[in-house]
Structure formats: C-alpha cells, structure tokens
C-alpha cells in the first residue's frame, strides 16, 4: 500500500476527501431551491405588478386620446371630418370642402399621397365679416410673400373667423390684389385698419398651406 513518508495511508485520505466534497455538494443542491425561491417569487411578483400596471394604463391612454379627439369646439372652430357644405362656422357658411390634392391609387415616386383630412383639405367660407387688425403691403423684396397686401386680424377679430380645431393662424392675403392695393398702397405700407370681407378660403397640405380672403371695403385705416 502506498503511503506518505512518515504519515497515514495516502489512498484512504483521498477517498475521504472525495466523500466529503460529494456530501457538501449534495447538501448545497438541496438547500439551493430554498435559497432561490424567495428571489424567484420576488421577481415574479414584480413582473405581475408591472403587467397589471400596464393593463391599467392602456385604457387610460386610449381614453386620453379619445378625450383629445373629442375636445369641445370653440364657437369658431370646426373639424374637417365633421363639417358639411351649408354648415355655418363663426357666422360664415361653408361653400365647399374637399381634399386640396386628391389621393391617387398610383402616386408618383416621392409624391405624398395624403388622404382627405386635417393635413389635406381645402375649404371656402362665404359671408360678410368686419375685421380689425394690421395690414401690410409687401414689396418685391419678400422671400415668400411679395407684391401683395396681407392682413392680420386682432385677437377679437380672429375669433370671428372659421378656424380648424387647434390651429392658431388667422392672417391672410387678399386674392383680389388689384382691388386691395388701391386702398393700401404704396408698397411697404403698414398700419391699423378695419375692413370688410365676404369670402374666406383656407387649405392645408404638407409643406403647403395658407389663407386668403376677398376684400370688399375699407372702413378705416390709420
């Protein structure tokens, strides 16, 4: 039998060590589920709580979106999907409404194919309106508006014009420029004025959009 010099037999010592290691591993494996169970239960509980929270939040998000869509209209506001020819908004009657650019089944490359709605519509309102605000007769040096008389209604007058829900723009240019320029010249002029219009047009499309009106009479200017 092999022995260490001056010690105990070598092989029995190895066998004892192997036995003790095996016993330790067995005890550890039996104890592991008990140790891990609280951690697993904790993670599971947290996951269930998160899932329950998400389920609760989803209806709230949907309700919030619906509430925004169904926000009450101001007296001068309208929704494109709800308005029809003949309806009155801010005392002006809707004469026509439709897509500014008709969607096509086979759009050209890079062509926006926007369905009729807030981002693709044109509307014409008719009816006499007296407005107070600021006029500007732009010259030829303007990058976007040139050689044109435009008008910005004051806050009170803006409330008397039809407006898409959520929109804040109300300034416009006259589409009968030859007639309007006789009253607001020379070019570069600006000031306060009270005017009468009888038609108000608007359209909206990605990167495009604008408002125009038919000038009828100048009441006063300063």
The single residue listed with the structure tokens 């004051």 is 154
Residue 51 pLDDT greater than 70, yes or no: no
pLDDT tens-digit series, residues 139-161:
887 777 778 999 999 999 999 99
**What is this structure's pTM?**
0.63
pLDDT of residue 37: 40
User: Please, what is the average pLDDT of the chain?
Assistant: 75
The answer to whether 184 and 137 are in contact (CB under 8 A) is yes
Q: How far apart are CA 152 and CA 131, in angstroms?
A: 9
pLDDT tens-digit series, residues 68-124:
456 888 889 999 889 899 999 999 999 999 887 766 655 555 556 676 677 778 899
Q: How far apart are CA 78 and CA 193, in angstroms?
A: 27
Q: On the CB side of 149, how many CA atoms lie within 13 Å of its CA?
A: 27
The answer to whether 212 and 206 are in contact (CB under 8 A) is no
Which contiguous run of DSSP H or E holds residue 219? Answer: strand 208-221
The answer to whether 71 and 165 are in contact (CB under 8 A) is yes
The single residue listed with the structure tokens 């570069």 is 188
């Amino acid at each position: 039998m092999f022995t260490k010099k001056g010690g105990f037999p070598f092989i029995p010592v190895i066998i004892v060590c192997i036995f003790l290691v095996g016993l330790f591993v067995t005890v550890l494996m039996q104890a592991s589920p008990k140790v891990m169970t609280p951690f697993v239960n904790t993670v599971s509980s947290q996951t269930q709580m998160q899932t329950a929270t998400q389920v609760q939040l989803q209806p709230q998000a949907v309700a919030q979106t619906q509430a925004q869509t169904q926000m009450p209209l101001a007296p001068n506001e309208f929704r494109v999907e709800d308005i029809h020819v003949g309806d009155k908004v801010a005392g002006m009657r809707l004469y026509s409404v439709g897509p500014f650019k008709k969607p096509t089944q086979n759009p050209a490359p890079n062509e926006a194919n926007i369905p009729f709605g807030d981002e693709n519509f044109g509307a014409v309102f008719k009816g006499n309106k007296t407005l107070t605000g600021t006029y500007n007769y732009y010259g030829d040096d303007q990058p976007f508006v040139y050689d044109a008389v435009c008008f910005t209604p004051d806050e009170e007058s803006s409330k008397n014009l039809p407006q898409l829900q959520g929109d804040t723009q109300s300034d416009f240019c006259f589409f009968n420029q030859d007639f309007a320029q006789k009253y607001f010249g020379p070019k570069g002029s600006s000031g306060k004025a009270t005017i009468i219009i009888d038609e108000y047009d608007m359209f909206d499309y990605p990167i495009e959009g604008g408002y125009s009106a038919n000038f009828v009479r100048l009441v006063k200017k300063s």
